[in-house]
Chain A
């Protein structure tokens, strides 16, 4: 974007004819660029297929190899009272004795037709569990991501602006320290201080006990989890913005802008920051796995009714269909995140190659 700003500046000063002449081919280039980005999307979606097949195969193999027995789970303690015929019938119904590959085919076929089985821990079809809980997770993760990005932009720019100043030292030190603080410690601390100590915000859940989940209720209950998740994600982003802004400030076009006598604010915000933010877009996309991980822990502590806390419930109950479906969902989220980041940086920066 910095490069774009500079070429725009150059065309502005050039003769109108030259500018017109330059605009024609640039539109054509834009069209071919769009085609290249579309090809990139297609290629990446194609690459996602073997990844998803491999992940689902691996998760299924883990389940098939484990000592865990679905029939025993189906019966629980009652297996001691069940007759041999009944157990045999359930074994046949669940298809436990079929070859692993047949079981995998059945399960994968169900996934493809939109029926990933039933969740035992929620006593609901897996699709319903995901459908009910996914919006809450998206809300939480979306707000947390906005918090993290805003923090990164504000603190990162402020720290790089006066490198070595007190703000820079504080931000860098706190950032490095926060990298070592697990999100659940942060969450417990936030609950102890803001919910129990000061009584400003509710401890957990989506709404007060017995109250409807109205917009106001949800907003009040969203504040703490979203802030905790956002802050726990922010150190990497803050330090990255600071580092890449420092690198951008040493570049030639920034020196050029300074030599032209532009105000410091213009130099930093209009010339250095856009170049510094390009890798930032890719970084945000690449941090989806950590975001998912953080969401699991934060949702669990705050009893947020999202898919991430369902992971923990499913794991504690060895609810394989739900666990496998949620793992695949998270993998899709990771792949989508990196795809979106790549598309965004390809659209923002014409220098980014689209054949990677």
Chain B
């Protein structure tokens, strides 16, 4: 009887001890192990979320930037000296700046200017980088070595500083800003295109073209450059946030776009002194728009990059 009782209690105690505590002990040990991810965050789900949120945000911003000025004939350039530095309210949803311009309209107009300038800069610097990279990779030898040293040299100067030198000497025009950004940001594209050309040169179809009697120029133009286009396009899109950032920084410092082009940087630069007077709302909406737009563009670009060229993930993380 005593045997039975003890055995039965043991029997009952084994599952009771094993039931709740054993899995708990196992789980806590697994949790405590550093670097073990939880199963719940799949990278696929996160990537899809990033893509959807990024694309939706971009679409909303684009609609806002294009449509908002047209709705009811509103114009962001209207000055209203009766309503200077108004805090957010029913008349002006996000308040007014120190000349009475409506900040909602102004900020979206600024976003449009900033994005257009950024697209222009990204295209120019990608083309410049693609040419340098393609020449460097296709010609090789001393040309390659010299061009790569040039890339190293440009990278040794802080980009904003070189940009400041350029806009300071050729001040007050759109061309100066575009040149300042394009001349400092082409190096990444040049590196990517060069390494892509170098790897493509080993492919059989290039050998076939050469043995078929194609000239070096024809090989580059017909066979190498088209194959490099997807890479170059991705790096152009990934350059967009950088270009926006650079243009905004220059304009903020008063060195960028001329004052009549109200880019986000110009609005923030003008609003600096107003912040000291307590008008914090002047910088809030433009900054939020800037940050959201930057993040949305880089989110979409990152998804595109991961889909198209997974093996170059680290290289393209500009």
Q: Which residues of A contact B (CB under 8 A)?
A: 50-51, 54-55, 59, 62-63, 66-68, 160-165, 169, 176-177, 179-182, 184-185, 188-189, 191-192, 196, 203, 245-246, 249-250, 258, 264, 267-268, 272, 288-290, 292-293, 296-297, 300-301, 311-312, 314-316, 318, 320, 323-324, 326-327, 330-331, 334-335
Contacts and interface: CB of A to CB of B under 8 A. Distances in A.
A177 B152 CA distance: 29
Interface stretch (B33-41, B93-101, B102-110, B225-233): B33-41
Contact of B38 (A63, A68, A165, A311): A165
B35 A300 contact: no
Nearest to B150: A54
Contact of B32 (A62, A163, A264): A264
A327 B249 contact: no
Contacts of B290: 182, 185
Contacts of A165: 38
Interface residues of B, number: 51
Nearest to A326: B161
B37 A163 contact: yes
A188 B283 contact: yes
B294 A180 contact: yes
B34 A272 contact: yes
Interface in B219-246: 241, 245
Interface of B: 31-38, 40-41, 149-150, 152-153, 155-162, 164-171, 241, 245, 248-249, 252-255, 268, 272, 275-276, 278, 280, 283, 287, 290-291, 294-295, 298
B interface SS class: helix
B241 A315 contact: no
Contact of A318 (B171, B252, B253): B171
A interface SS class: helix
B248 A182 contact: yes
A316 B255 contact: yes
B157 A330 contact: yes
For the complex of A and B, 9 pairs with smallest distance between CB atoms: A249-B35, A315-B168, A66-B169, A164-B38, A180-B294, A289-B158, A293-B160, A164-B37, A292-B158
A55 B157 contact: yes
Contacts of A288: 158
B165 A327 contact: yes
24 contacts: A54-B150, A55-B156, A62-B165, A62-B166, A66-B169, A160-B34, A162-B31, A162-B34, A164-B41, A180-B294, A180-B295, A182-B245, A191-B275, A196-B275, A250-B35, A272-B34, A289-B155, A289-B159, A296-B164, A297-B249, A312-B255, A316-B253, A330-B161, A331-B158
